[in-house]
Amino acid sequence: MNNDPAITPELVAKHGITPEEYQNILKILDREPSYTELGIFSVMWSEHCSYKNTKPLLKKFPTRSPKILVGAGEENAGIIDIGDNLAIAFKMESHNHPSAVEPFQGAATGVGGIIRDIFTMGARPICGMNSLRFGSLDSSEVRRLFRGVVGGIAHYGNCFGIPTIAGEVCFDPSYEGNPLVNAFCLGVLRHEQIARGAAKGIGNPVFYVGPATGRDGLAGAAFASQDLTEESAEQQRGAVQVGDPFMEKLVMEACLELLAMENAVVGIQDMGAAGLTCSTCETAARAGTGIEIELDKVPQRAKGMTPYEIMLSESQERMLIIVNKGHEAEVQQIFDKWDLPWANIGVVTDSGHMVVKHHGEIVADIPAAKIANDSPIYHRKSQRPVYLEKVQAFSVSELPDTVTPENDLKLLLSTPSLASKNWVYRQYDHMVRDGSVICPGSDAAVIRIKEDSLPPLSKGAKESVPAGIEKFIAMSVDGNGTYVYLDPYEGSKIAVAEAARNLACSGARPLGSTDNLNFGNPHNPELFYQLEESVRGLAEGCSIFEAPITGGNVSLYNQNPHGAIDPTPTIAMVGIIEKKEHITTQWFKNSGDIILLMGLPVDTKDPNLGLGGSSYLQVKHKCKNGNPPRCDLQHEKKIQMALLDFIRAGWIKSAHDCSDGGLMCALAECCFSQDIALNTPKLKGAEIDLTSCEYDRVDALLFGETQGRIILTANKTDIQKLINKAAELSIPLNIIGKVSSSDLYSPTLSVKTKNAFFSWNVSELYSIWWNTVENIMEQK
């Protein structure tokens, strides 16, 4: 400790601790903190770990339902009952700042961290998703970040052996220099296998398992809780962790085997953000106990590491396990079997304190609950942004209607945000473990839960899940930063509605949601307003769709010197499909099938007719203005419930939601989104008749993004049943065409309106859509 720097106001400020917070620390300790203690408070009271700027807002989320077994904030991930004694654990988290500094390792360790959150709960991870945002691909630097992030996700997921089954990728100049990398993981377990992260049992030993602690990832949580600048990025390059997916696989298998041993484990926690610091104080705080560790016993891969470095390191693939006293030998045997480093580093106490020793000397002694649960809480000022008045005053009537819809559709399909993301997902193994039912390319991914998906049972334990049971879980991740920028409340409602709509199009009803709130600096009242209104919209949407938030992540300070990112809440929603025959995909199936539009072709009550904030407006007119489309959540739910009824009745052959790019982009995707194998699309044509539609502008009809619309196909024999049922439910449903029987080698997509006829070669559209991102990324 003699080599520790003196605690000065400058050092305190460097740790991101305000003078008021430091005075609080002095009251808690009744003395000046040591250098190690200062570092501990710095990471634990960072926004990333404590949510000190957002806790009051997060309380607005719906977090309960009869199916929730572990709720938001209780543990590392939420858990939902899916019937037959089975449950799923899922969560989404961000690794934005690390990915901006070191894209490959930043993204890779983001995947590793979310996987640990899942198996820490006792669940076996079975699939992953991601939500990514980057600046314009015109920039070579953005292409470097994009390539690195995708490579990192692919590396970790593929090596670990988990399918990356779905996701979204968007590009917008607001993310220049500050990409968003949100990683999701889902796992499965039996009800009785739920593990907890509590340090219970006075005298129980505390075990460390996993690779040795190094200097990588130092104070990563604090780094993620400050504005990202060129200077901070260079200074904090060491705050980016380095991952080893093969090691994580061993750690997971050892932990699941250990958890299956009767009475061996009392509590388990991964060493994620804030590393050894967070895992020790949080487990003690949850149990209302204390914990004492000796740093000399912690495996270290660098010589001369200080207590500060050991406690704040975020080296990856490490776990803290509270062992039931008397079972030490069994625990050691399992770790040795899996060839994993381990150490007995401490003990559970009744002191209520986290006590850290180094060479027998106390270097930290802090009340565990105070640092884990009693961080400062701030109610930030909120002020409606000045820019909203200008952007919302925009009227689409200021712009001429299109006279070149044929070119407009090609232009939209060649836009990276709307084009196929096959360049991304073909780098991912989305088939490993043989559970993937619907892979990337449809509205929602679907995975099958089967017998070998489950964690191991205790020796001699009787199987509690009925034999032969299969479950089909659908998942989707959605968000639209432009909509939220233009109207944080309405845009956030749309994010939830679209996620739920994607599930409905796959045949699933929602079970729950996890969110990632990606925003700028909360100290700016206008940026905090965006966050506040967004949470209001998300909460309302999740309540309406009965998809409570089971956990998630807040990532603030996402801005570069030129300004904040577009406010970007992402929502990952998970649902269940009751029967295999109800699984539905978005692509057209057979020539002669009837095409129907559920919902209104154009929302005539919307002054901008669904064009506000639309991809069409941004791509063709270089304009990010207007109110986003209106979102009536009750109407959305009514339509989605009707769709599920139609699917269960066996009347629907395909279903695809209309979102970015409007009706024509959705119809084009229906024509060519079925990919039988690599670069072997099954193309279909379509004859569309919109002459009965009421509209004022052709661009609004073809490319507007009016909400609550779904394209369906059905056999002729089922059409009248569909129309009658829709009329009974007061659901708009109209025949708009048929899947054509044109030449399969050169299918055509044609559209007839009141005043014109348009036609496209489907093969040409497919080539544009499929190859755009690859052509940009492979350019020299």
CA nearest 179: which of 270, 106, 260? Answer: 106
Give the pLDDT confidence score for residue 674 in this predicted structure: 83
Nearest to residue 197, comparing CAs of 67, 319, 338, 332? 319
Output phi, psi for 340, to 5 deg: -110, 140
Res 470: pLDDT: 93
Mean pLDDT value across residues 736-747:
80
- pLDDT in the model for residue 18: 95
Asked if 291 contacts 346 with a C-beta cutoff of 8 angstroms, the reply is yes
- Cα separations in angstroms, 190 against 81, 164, 187, 464: 9, 23, 11, 8
Residue 216 in this model has a pLDDT that exceeds 90: no
- Range list of β-strands (E), 34-161: 68-70, 78-83, 86-94, 124-134
Contact 183, 101 (CB under 8 A): no
pLDDT single digits (tens) 90-121: 999 999 999 999 999 999 999 999 999 999 99
pLDDT of residue 225: 47
Q: Which two tokens stand for residue 260?
A: 């299956």
Residue 597 has pLDDT above 50, yes or no: yes
Cα gap 574→167, rounded to integer Å: 13
CB 598 within 8 A of CB 712: yes
Taking alpha carbons only, the member of 471, 492, 16 closest to residue 222 is 16
- Pairing verdict, β 733-740 and 342-349: unpaired
Lowest mean pLDDT among 71-80, 203-212, 232-241, 269-278: 232-241
> What is d(CA 498, CA 726) in angstroms, rounded to the nearest whole number?
21
pLDDT of residue 745: 66
Distance, in Å, from the CA atom of 296 to the CA atom of 356, rounded to the nearest integer, reads: 10
Mean pLDDT of 443-460: 94
Q: Residue 661's pLDDT is what?
A: 98
Residue 677 has pLDDT above 90, yes or no: no
Point out the least confidently predicted range of 265-274, 358-367, 712-721: 265-274
Coil, strand or helix at 202: coil
Helices assigned H by DSSP within 161-229: 220-223
> In which element (H, E) is residue 571 found?
strand 568-577
d(CA 504, CA 729): 17
Show Cβ contacts of residue 459 under 8 Å, excluding neighbours closer than 6 positions: 260, 261, 262
Return the minimum-mean-pLDDT range out of 225-234, 577-586, 641-650.
225-234
Whether residue 1 is predicted with pLDDT greater than 50 in this model: the reply is: no
Phi, psi angle pair for 376, to nearest 5° = -60, 145
Question: Which percentage of the chain shows pLDDT scores above 90?
Answer: 90
Mean of pLDDT values over 331-351: 97
Residue 692 identity (one-letter amino acid): S
Compute the distance between CA of residue 266 and CA of residue 259 in angstroms, rounded to an integer: 9
Catalytic hit among 15, 95, 155, 358 = 95
The answer to whether 489 and 536 are in contact (CB under 8 A) is yes
pLDDT at 742: 56
Q: What is the pLDDT of residues 161-194, one digit of tens each?
A: 999 999 999 999 999 989 999 999 999 999 999 9
Dist. CA 541–CA 570, nearest whole Å: 13
Query: Percent of the chain beyond pLDDT 70?
Result: 96
656 catalytic? Reply is no
Q: Are strands 342-349 and 180-190 parallel, antiparallel or unpaired?
A: unpaired
Catalytic hit among 48, 155, 635, 656:
48
State residue 545's pLDDT score.
98
Average pLDDT, the chain: 94
**Tokens matching residue 555:** 């990532």
**DSSP characters over 152-206:** HHHHHHHHHT--EEEEEEEE-GGGTT--EEEEEEEEEEEGGG-------STT-EE
Give the neighbor-by-neighbor strand order of the sheet with 361-367: 265-270, 319-323, 205-209, 342-349, 290-294, 353-358, 361-367
> Which tokens sit at 126?
């079975």
Pick the more confident residue, 234 or 171.
Answer: 171
Per-residue pLDDT at 218: 77
User: Which residues pair with residue 180 across a beta bridge?
Assistant: 133
Residue 777 to residues 165, 182, 192, 764, 774, Cα–Cα distance (Å): 22, 21, 47, 20, 5
Does residue 230 register a pLDDT over 70? no
Instruction: Please indicate whether residue 430 is annotated as part of the active site.
Output: no
CA 123 to chain centre: 18
DSSP H or E stretch at residue 182: strand 180-190
H helices of 622-693, where? 633-648, 662-672
Mean pLDDT, residues 597-613 taken together: 97
pLDDT for residue 223 is more than 50: no
What is the dihedral angle through the alpha carbons of 699, 705, 710, 711, rounded to the nearest 10 degrees? 30
Least confident span in 239-243, 384-388, 546-550: 239-243
Between β-strands 568-577 and 471-478, what pairing exists: parallel, antiparallel or unpaired? antiparallel
